């Protein structure tokens, strides 16, 4: 009789282990993806090469002919991955329209999101 009970419990235990394993993985599925450090570094390089001539650097005074610093841009509510991706796909005058490759835009978005995390 005991053997039947133990055999009947094995599938339940296996099922419990499967549920426990899924529960441990759940935070990975619902939490934002960790930034790829290489993508962040590439994004910073693109920003330094193409964008820094017009954006005020931290600590400098904003003038009429300069764009705001990135820390001010990422601090605005609603600026998330989707917003940055849409922004980089559209033309924004008087902002100079640089034709970045899609992978460069993706890297800039990673850099902006990384900066956003650091400034909150």
By three-state DSSP, how is residue 45 classified? Answer: helix
Least reliable range by pLDDT among 31-35, 54-58, 68-72: 31-35
Nearest to 120 by CA among 75, 59, 70: 75
Q: What is the pLDDT of residues 10-48, one digit of tens each?
A: 455 555 554 444 444 434 333 345 679 999 999 999 999
pTM comes to 0.69
Looking at residue 26, its pLDDT comes to: 39
How many residues does this entry show for the chain? 120
State the architecture of 37-119 in CATH terms. Orthogonal Bundle (1.10)
């Amino acid at each position: 009789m005991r053997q039947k009970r133990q055999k009947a419990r094995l599938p339940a235990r296996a099922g419990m282990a499967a549920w426990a394993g899924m529960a441990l993985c759940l935070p990975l599925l619902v939490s934002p993806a960790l930034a790829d450090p290489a993508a962040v570094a590439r994004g910073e390089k693109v920003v330094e090469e193409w964008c820094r001539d017009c954006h005020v650097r931290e600590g400098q005074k904003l003038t009429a002919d300069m764009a705001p610093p990135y820390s001010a841009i990422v601090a605005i509510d609603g600026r998330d991955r989707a917003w940055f991706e849409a922004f980089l796909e559209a033309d924004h005058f008087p902002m100079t329209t640089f034709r970045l490759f899609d992978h460069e835009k993706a890297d800039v978005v990673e850099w902006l999101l990384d900066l956003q995390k650091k400034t909150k």
